């Protein structure tokens, strides 16, 4: 009787070989058909490359199961961990060998079930357990921002405890970092540098959505002797879609809620030499009071451009010091001229309204300014200034990173008016 071996995909990884010693019994059921017989113990017919006794298997080696003696062949192999996850593997066409195709998890316990048939077609089986050795080097991940409610422009961040430079290792990390939103939104990770990733949707998050972030990297091999560790999950929610568009050319800022205009405010933006950055920015924090000094942005004290001012209702959009804030000293220019040192200034009443209306993660977009463009990384969240194609190029699962995964220097926290 000639049976074709079955193929099954399972989950795990590592090379172990251990003799499955036991007794093989005869075949033939009550009706004389070999397949009607209860499977015999196939311990003498298969071997597994795992250590014996209490020794732990090396998770860096593949798992391999071999049919011995030539009088039987393997027809099926199932390898599962304690959580029920399957280890992927391939069975040779002649049933002589099964080998894992995915890495084993470190510090895990596996159950192996092997099905065989002898030269007469009678079925055999063997089950055994083994454990893999724990890891010596864990990769931990910290998700951001903190749990809470944010605007629809808020990126998700992942800070790694160790640098990951190899492209294949980065792909493992990305596959293990799960982001789910309800309603659903298409999105992707982008490597900012070797230790930091950002995740954003193709468009902004849906309004009033729930976003959960988790990891399946625990015990998974990332790179050379580097394995994922346990990661604390994160959940955030979004509010309405709030967008403020500051037009440096018309000297007005329009605020939209879910696409509908709710207020237009006369403003002043950066004057020549101090022009406000063009582009989309994400609100980083809100401060009811900030002391703003020109010296913090390189303006000499006592010079014609120097300043030292108490500023109220300050909404930060860059770490280098751009805010949307109250500027009662420039009310005469608001709506007609740009006279600030880079911030978006407005009346105290309008600044307080804006402060109370927006939250972290909401969008402030500056257009028609003579300033430079907003940096995508390193000075706040400029993620939305990359189009979707370039954003996707920063994923190890798609194509080479646009910026080569270079390091980003953190800007100093400094206010500018």
Cβ atoms 211, 236 nearer than 8 A: yes
**Strand, coil or helix: 115:** strand
Are 151 and 363 contacting, i.e. CB atoms less than 8 angstroms apart? yes
**What ranges make up the beta strands (E) of 68-205?**
72-81, 89-91, 97-100, 109-118, 123-131, 138-139, 141-144, 148-150, 156-160, 177-182, 187-193, 196-201
Dig out the tokens for 124 from the structure: 């055999």
Backbone angles phi, psi at 274, to 5 degrees: -135, 30
Chain position carrying tokens 């006369």: 266
Strand partners, 118: 72
C-alpha 311, offset from chain centre = 37
For 2-12, letters b (16+ CB in 10 Å) and e give eeebeebebbb
> Which residues, 6 or more positions from 220, have their beta carbon under 8 angstroms from its beta carbon?
103, 105, 172, 176, 227, 228
C-alpha angle 54-55-60 in degrees, rounded to nearest 5: 140
Q: How far apart are CA 219 and CA 398, in angstroms?
A: 25
Residue 208 tokens read as 């009033």
Count the Cβ atoms, other than its own, within 10 Å of residue 149. Answer: 13
Q: Which of the residues are catalytic? A: 325, 343
Q: Are 113 and 23 in contact (CB under 8 A)?
A: no
């Amino acid at each position: 009787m000639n049976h074709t071996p079955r193929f099954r995909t399972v989950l795990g990884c590592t090379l172990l070989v251990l003799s499955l010693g036991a007794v093989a019994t005869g075949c033939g059921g009550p009706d004389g058909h070999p397949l009607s017989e209860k499977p015999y113990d196939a311990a003498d017919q298969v071997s597994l490359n795992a250590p014996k006794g209490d020794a732990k298997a090396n998770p860096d080696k593949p798992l391999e199961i071999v049919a011995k003696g030539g009088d039987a062949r393997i027809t099926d192999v199932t390898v599962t961990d304690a959580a029920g996850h399957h280890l992927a593997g391939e069975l040779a066409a002649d049933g002589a060998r099964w080998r894992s195709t995915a890495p084993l998890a470190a510090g895990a316990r596996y159950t192996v079930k092997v099905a065989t048939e002898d030269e007469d077609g009678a079925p055999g089986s063997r089950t055994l357990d083994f454990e893999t050795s724990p890891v010596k080097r864990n990769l931990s991940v910290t998700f951001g921002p903190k749990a809470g409610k944010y605007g629809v422009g808020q990126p998700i961040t992942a800070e790694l405890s160790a640098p990951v430079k190899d492209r294949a290792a980065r792909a493992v990390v990305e596959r293990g970092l799960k982001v789910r939103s309800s309603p659903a939104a298409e999105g992707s990770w982008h490597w900012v540098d070797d230790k930091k990733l950002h995740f954003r949707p193709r468009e902004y998050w849906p309004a009033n959505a729930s976003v959960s972030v988790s990891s399946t990297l625990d015990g998974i091999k990332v790179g050379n002797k580097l394995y994922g560790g346990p990661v604390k999950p994160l959940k955030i929610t979004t509010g309405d879609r709030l967008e403020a568009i500051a037009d440096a050319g018309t000297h007005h800022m329009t605020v939209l809620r879910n696409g509908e205009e709710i207020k237009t405010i006369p403003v002043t933006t950066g004057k020549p030499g101090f022009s406000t950055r063009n582009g989309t920015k994400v609100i980083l924090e809100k401060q009811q009071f900030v002391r703003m000094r020109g010296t913090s942005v390189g303006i000499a004290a006592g010079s014609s451009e120097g300043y030292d001012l108490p500023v109220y209702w300050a909404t930060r959009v860059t770490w280098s010091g751009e805010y949307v804030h109250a500027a009662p000293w420039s009310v005469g220019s608001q709506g007609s001229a740009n006279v600030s040192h880079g911030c978006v200034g407005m009346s105290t009443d309008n600044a307080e309204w804006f402060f109370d209306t927006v939250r972290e993660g909401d969008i402030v977009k500056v257009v028609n300014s003579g300033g430079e463009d907003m940096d995508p990384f390193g000075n706040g969240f400029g993620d939305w200034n990359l189009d979707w194609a370039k954003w996707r190029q920063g994923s190890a699962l798609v194509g080479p990173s646009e910026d080569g995964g270079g390091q980003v220097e953190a800007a100093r926290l400094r206010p500018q008016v």
